Amino acid sequence: MSMEDLYQEIVLEHSKRPRNRRAIPQASHRAKGHNPLCGDEIEVYLKVEDERIVDLSFQGQGCAISTASASLMSESLTGLSLVEARQRFAEMMTLLKDAGVPVDASKWGDLAAVIGVRRYPGRIKCASLAWHALQGALDGRPESTTE
Amino acid sequence: MMTRPTTESQGFSVEAVRADFPILRTEVNGQPLAYFDNAATSQKPQAVIDRMTAYYSTENANIHRGVHALSQAATEAYEAARKVVARFIGAPESREVIFTRGTTEAINLVASGLGQTVLQKGDTILLTELEHHANIVPWQLLAERKGLRIEVAPVFDTGALDVEGMKAKIVASAPKVVAFSHASNAVGCINPARELIDAAHSAGALVVLDGAQSTAHFPVNVADLDCDFFAFSGHKVFGPTGIGALYGKADLLGSLPPYQGGGDMIEKVSFKGTSFRGLPERFEAGTPNIAGAIGLAAAMVYVDGLGREALDAQERALVEYALDALTSVKGVRVLGGDGPRVSLVSFLMDGVHPHDIASFLDAEGIAVRTGHHCAQPLMERLGIPGTTRASFAFYNTFAEIDRLVKGLHRIQKVFGS
């Protein structure tokens, strides 16, 4: 796998023009995620109505992998129920940790490109940063880390 | 691109030197390793590896108080290593050299000692904005325990130390202790240590100099610098990990209470009371890193054998070449200012995060370090999450720097919008 396989067009595109990089003033949940290894910080905002995510956004600066992961996460989780979102978080963590688990492209779509980072152990936390912040927001923890 | 300078005329052959470092023959990701992470840790010459192997193979024993032959041989080798270290850094007496695990432990030792002697509640410690966490956190812990104030000397927007600003701070804050780095690990500037030490002494302060980044790169003489304490790590000076030293002027060092208690540092132990040995044993409780000290001495002998002036010249040529070559890469800004610098370049690239740069370079066998370089306050001051740092040693080549620059051009093509 070469660098161009990791930094696919979809990753580069989402890192340069991230979707939903904004605050949600009336957020029902929000939390910061911090990666102590690199100092990157991402804040995730959620608007939840009737146990369903109706809006999901993030703010902060990070590397291409963490920004693309946050951007793609915001797109893929909006509209899901909280139960489904938690399920997706758990599955994402499993996929990032274990390169042997196959990625169902029909389910993960463009996020599959980000999951490719699991071949580079030093970068996995870049991909998981926004997801940890999401979990922190759902659990009511204002700050979480990738550690 | 600028022509490659040659240092062959000074009798220095980079190819011959590279042959002394077995790891430089390694391939990474199918490419020859270009190791540019020397500021984090340097590679080890065969002479060091062989010396440590020989020690463990033929001389290993615990030192001091041993009557048997091996113990005496080990003791002699360990104390001979102390003499080599003293000579390498210009310490007038070898008892002024305390072996520690590295710079971090050396600074913790001196902070702990000064906290029990010189520093009283309300006193000020002056640090700088460019310090490594190892020269911040021990002082913060002490300040919290003792009710001390910490003042911080400023840097410029390049990350280089504002020397006049620091001198003004020394006068204004009347610190009891000034602790600063001889050279910055994060941006590479060499600070005018003697000038700042004189200013601190004039204000009545003691000086702790963090030599983690200077000791490996240019000749250091603690007596000429007139610093009160000097800390460095062996593994950045081509020696093993887990060994370093604290130098302290004999009278000052001798006035500090013990740091850790245990065997070897005592004169007589009784439940009625214990008396302690003098320098240097008082600060070396327990079995020390004997093999590490011997390996470090071997590294210093190796460096001296090549000639520290020649190595310094080679590293200067490398960093000048790198600085010039990086100007050809659009959107790259090198930190650290235009003043004297050790052989490292710490830079930012428009629109590309350091971690993405490092991953691309790693795929090409080029090892750089990215992030905050254990200098988060400096990164915060500069308003950046981190930098990409390429730090050179005398065994690096101009051709390796060409690979780095080529890699950066490629990264820019991938990320260019």
Which residues of chain A lie closer than 8 angstroms to B387, CB-CB? none
Q: Which CATH architecture has domain B49-304?
A: 3-Layer(aba) Sandwich (3.40)
Which residue among the candidates B28, B250, B313, B374 is catalytic per the annotation?
Answer: B374
For residue B4, the model assigns a pLDDT of: 66
Mean pLDDT check: name the lowest of A35-44, B71-80, B272-281: A35-44
For residue B234, the model assigns a pLDDT of: 98
- At position B358, the amino acid (one-letter code) is A
Q: Where in chain B is the domain with CATH 3.40.640.10?
A: 49-304
Rounded Cα distance between A47 and B196, Å, is 55
pLDDT at residue B369 greater than cutoff 90: yes
Which ipTM score applies to this complex? 0.89
pLDDT at residue B10 greater than cutoff 70: no
Distances (CA, A) of B154 to A70, A117, B175, B391: 36, 39, 15, 24
pTM of the model: 0.93
Are B129 and B381 within 8 A, CB to CB? yes
| Band (A144; pLDDT cuts 50, 70, 90) | confident
The string of DSSP letters for A25-62 reads: TT-SEEEEEEETTTTEEEEEEEEEETTEEEEEEEE---
Rounded Cα distance between A69 and B71, Å, is 59
- CB contact (8 A) between residue A65 and residue B371: no
pLDDT at residue A6 greater than cutoff 90: no
- CB contact (8 A) between residue A37 and residue B417: no
| Band (B6; pLDDT cuts 50, 70, 90) | low
For residue A3, the model assigns a pLDDT of: 81
Q: Are strands B124-128 and B177-181 parallel, antiparallel or unpaired?
A: parallel
Are B366 and B407 within 8 A, CB to CB? yes
Class of domain B8-45+308-415: alpha beta
| Band (A143; pLDDT cuts 50, 70, 90) | confident
Are B375 and B389 within 8 A, CB to CB? no
Average pLDDT over residues B2-26: 81
Distances (CA, A) of B96 to A75, B75, B178, B281, B282: 63, 18, 20, 10, 11
| Both structure tokens of B370 | 């990215």
> pLDDT, tens digit, for every residue of B109-128?
999 999 999 999 999 999 99
- At position B264, the amino acid (one-letter code) is D
> pLDDT, tens digit, for every residue of A65-98?
999 999 999 999 999 999 999 999 999 999 999 9
Residue ranges and CATH numbers for the domains of chain A are 3-145 (3.90.1010.10)
| Band (B5; pLDDT cuts 50, 70, 90) | low
Q: Where in chain B is the domain with CATH 3.90.1150.10?
A: 8-45+308-415
Are B239 and B82 within 8 A, CB to CB? no
> pLDDT, tens digit, for every residue of B264-279?
899 999 999 999 999 9
B67 touches chain A (CB under 8 A): no
Please indicate whether residue B374 is annotated as part of the active site: yes
- CB contact (8 A) between residue A123 and residue B359: yes
